Amino acid sequence: MSDSLWFDSLTRAQLWRELTEVVEAHLTHVDEQGVAPPLDEAELRALLRPYTFANPRSPHELLRELDQALRRHQVHTAHRRYFGLFNPAPSVMGIAADTLVATLNPQLAAFSHSPLAVAMEHHLIAAFGMRFGLPPERCDGVFTGGGSEANLTAVCVALAHRWPALAERGLRALPADPVCYVSAEAHHSILKAARITGLGTAAVRQVPVDEALRLDLSRLRQLIAEDRAQGRAPFLLVGTVGTTGTGVIDPLPALAEIAAAEQLWFHVDAAWGGAVQLSARWQHLLAGIERADSITFDAHKWLSVPMGAGMLLTRHRAALAQAFALEASYMPKEGDPSAPDPFARSLQWSRRFIGLKVFMTLAATGWGGYARVVDDAVALGDELRRRLRAAGWRLVNETPLPVVCFTRAGEDWSLAQHQALVNAVLRSGAAWISTITTSRGQPAIRAGIANFRTTAEDLDALVTALERAR
């Protein structure tokens, strides 16, 4: 037995004490440091050089040393003034759940190894499917590492659904070239999925957007008609609910109509925007999502569980098995599984219990807790828009969601000018923001609000930091 993999109970007890101190110190003091420390690659190399792994080190020392080092060298997304991508502070119950998962280490490949864990994930899939309006008797889904894996899963499932022979004979057996349609503002994981599945990126039509940066329906109809005329095989239409860059919601009801008329699989990428469905006040913005064949939703975004926790939901109960089912004689088969084995209906094989951090956080906060998170962030987004306009900024995106893209009113700044200003704000440590160029070519500064810890006071700090940097 290796002592340094298990240690004795006294060493362990001390280590857990130290660990909980580290966790609590971080949660208590995260706002007191700069949001984003400056990048110093020489320092990173110097930090890593002593780690040759030649001699065992004290676990206490390692914990202390690496906690301090990591804190100095990361963007603090849990900081109240991280106005970034959708990486909120991790929920406390999520942190507790992930610790429990690492400790119990249930194997989620096979139902029989971890029946309760698999059943809990099913329970959540059914609960979220219901919230999105998918038919309960047919709704199904899987947990994924994130939205990107969920989108890849959707592409695999849509292909297998349309061409069942594909599993055996591959793309080369198809009678025509498959094509899919996404908005030019969509997340690039769809392009990656096209590469991985062998479709190739040329199979992805990045449909131009209208003035409001939504997928342009007339261009979509035109592209589908052109592809059909050329003998290609349209199979998948992706609508985005909350684009990553600009927070725009594609016109879902119209997309659902087109998908139905053209017999395309209708996938909705709601990676972060899907949380809006949990707010009675704002869920009307997502009308049409209930017509999706599949939905991508990330719990590690607006729902604030630690990374990675994505979901792929579908209204077709047999679809996942059709894409992924196979038999392996070494996989455990005892019992009569009431839930099918995850490994035979998803991309991953051995995998961690992703669902527990979602389950425990949701159970502790309730749907109402999440509705408040969404409502508060939406209100703060409006407030930020108001304050920016008053300070001489012009908004370049149009969305009720809390992603605010802006440029200097009455001026024509280049991307470099926006970036210079952003860099100055980052150097000040006052806030984290970024730049973006819309698919219509407009550069802007982007500030997103996803953190449930952000307040109106933080908006003031951001607007002040922008003024100072200018």
Q: Nearest approach, Cβ of 370 to ligand PLP (angstroms)?
A: 17
Establish if 132 lies at the interface with ligand PLP (CB under 6 A): no
Q: Nearest approach, Cβ of 376 to ligand PLP (angstroms)?
A: 20
Contact window for ligand PLP (CB under 6 A) among 12-20, 114-122, 143-151, 173-181: 143-151
DSSP H/E element including 215:
none
- Side-chain-facing half-sphere of 404: CA atoms under 13 Å: 27
Contact window for ligand PLP (CB under 6 A) among 10-18, 40-48, 67-75, 147-155: 147-155
Among 88, 247, 310, 355, the residue binding ligand PLP under the rule CB under 6 A is: 310
Q: Nearest approach, Cβ of 183 to ligand PLP (angstroms)?
A: 10
Q: Nearest approach, Cβ of 301 to ligand PLP (angstroms)?
A: 6
Residues in contact with ligand PLP, counted by CB under 6 A, come to a total of 13
Binding mask 184-223 for ligand PLP (x = CB under 6 A): ---x-x----------------------------------
Q: Nearest approach, Cβ of 147 to ligand PLP (angstroms)?
A: 2
* SS (HEC) of the chain: CCHHHHCCHHHHHHHHHHHHHHHHHHHHHHHHCCCCCCCCHHHHHHHHCCCCCCCCCCHHHHHHHHHHHHHHCCCCCCCCCECCCCCCCCCHHHHHHHHHHHHHCCCCCCHHHCHHHHHHHHHHHHHHHHHCCCCCCCCEEEEECCHHHHHHHHHHHHHHHHCCCHHHHCHHHCCCCEEEEEECCCCCHHHHHHHHCCCCHHHEEEECECCCCCECHHHHHHHHHHHHHCCCEEEEEEEEECCCCCCCECCHHHHHHHHHHHCCEEEEECCCHHHHHHCCCCHHHHCCHHHCCEEEEECCCCCCCCCCCEEEEECCCCHHHHHHCCCCCCCCCCCCCCCCCHHHHCCCCCCCCCHHHHHHHHHHHHHHHHHHHHHHHHHHHHHHHHHHHHCCEEECCCCCCCEEEEEECCCCCCHHHHHHHHHHHHHHCCCECEEEECCCCCEEEEEECCCCCCCHHHHHHHHHHHHHHC
Contact window for ligand PLP (CB under 6 A) among 7-15, 33-41, 145-153, 426-434: 145-153
Q: Nearest approach, Cβ of 14 to ligand PLP (angstroms)?
A: 36
Q: Nearest approach, Cβ of 5 to ligand PLP (angstroms)?
A: 32
Among 107, 240, 277, 314, the residue binding ligand PLP under the rule CB under 6 A is: 240
Establish if 140 lies at the interface with ligand PLP (CB under 6 A): no
Among 110, 249, 271, 347, the residue binding ligand PLP under the rule CB under 6 A is: 271
Establish if 290 lies at the interface with ligand PLP (CB under 6 A): no
The one-character DSSP state at 241 is B
d(CA 395, CA 408): 9
**Closer Cβ to ligand PLP, 356 or 421, answer by number:** 356
Q: Nearest approach, Cβ of 146 to ligand PLP (angstroms)?
A: 3
Establish if 148 lies at the interface with ligand PLP (CB under 6 A): yes
Contact window for ligand PLP (CB under 6 A) among 217-225, 268-276, 340-348, 404-412: 268-276
Q: Nearest approach, Cβ of 87 to ligand PLP (angstroms)?
A: 9
Establish if 250 lies at the interface with ligand PLP (CB under 6 A): no
Among 272, 353, 370, 393, the residue binding ligand PLP under the rule CB under 6 A is: 272
Contact predicate 252/291, CB 8 Å: yes
Which residues from 368-427 bind ligand PLP, rule CB under 6 A? none
Among 146, 234, 381, 443, the residue binding ligand PLP under the rule CB under 6 A is: 146
Among 227, 250, 269, 290, the residue binding ligand PLP under the rule CB under 6 A is: 269
Establish if 246 lies at the interface with ligand PLP (CB under 6 A): no
The one-character DSSP state at 350 is S
Establish if 147 lies at the interface with ligand PLP (CB under 6 A): yes
Angle at 213 between CA 401 and CA 430, to 5 degrees: 50
**Closer Cβ to ligand PLP, 153 or 365, answer by number:** 153
Binding positions for ligand PLP, rule: CB under 6 A: 146-148, 151, 187, 189, 240, 244, 269, 271-272, 298, 310
